[in-house]
A and B are shown apart, each in its own frame.
Chain A
């Protein structure tokens, strides 16, 4: 069974630009969660989508947004990039039940210059 895939793997952007990251979950998984990982803050939850609806959201500014499509694939968008947005963005998928294990993709490394 194929794992979670994320594209692109690496991105370099400049301040003020916007970026879209993509995530394809494991086949059959309906929940997709996004996390930001930085050396200082560790892994922090951004949001979770289930059946095309945002079900939960972390404490990030409105510049961070996402969506989920009918095939469970998800995208996240960051507008007006700031230097502090440089991070590894991780996507995780699960079946969607409350205690299900989340399986992570390889991540997208975003560098903001």
Chain B
């Protein structure tokens, strides 16, 4: 069964304290791994897409990496405005030509204190 697990469930950091969020997955044929950020009461905001092991992408203080079994979202010198829930999702490869559904993890709730 396709599955996505994120850890930790919650993470509290001081401003400037770097850390990493983990997303481990078990899917039959990974087509893509996606990171989203979600603020309370809002829809997920797209951050990154990774397609193959070894791929890395960066945006401001965030960097996403991908291996064959997991992905990491590294946050460097976070600021209070980085506080949000970070969601990881995978798209498995068993849907023929269709978009297929995204399988989401439960998310990591990040709080950054000034």
Question: Chain A interface (Cβ within 8 Å of chain B)?
Answer: 4, 31, 33, 35, 42-45, 48, 50, 55-56, 58, 88, 90, 92, 94, 96-107, 109
Contact = CB atoms under 8 A, between A and B. Distances in A.
Interface in B37-87: 41-46, 49, 51, 87
> What 5 pairs across the A-B complex have the smallest Cβ distances?
A45-B101, A104-B43, A43-B104, A55-B98, A104-B44
B43 A107 contact: yes
A94 to B, nearest CB: 6
B91 A99 contact: yes
Give the contact-size bracket for chain B: 20 to 34
Contacts of A4: 43
A98 B65 CA distance: 21
Contact of B45 (A35, A45, A58, A104): A104
A56 B96 CA distance: 10
Interface of B: 31-32, 34, 36, 41-46, 49, 51, 87, 89, 91, 95, 97-107
Contacts of B91: 98-99
Contacts of A42: 104-107
Given A48-B100, A56-B101, A109-B41, 12 more contacts: A33-B101, A45-B103, A48-B101, A50-B98, A96-B99, A98-B31, A99-B91, A101-B34, A101-B46, A101-B49, A102-B99, A102-B102
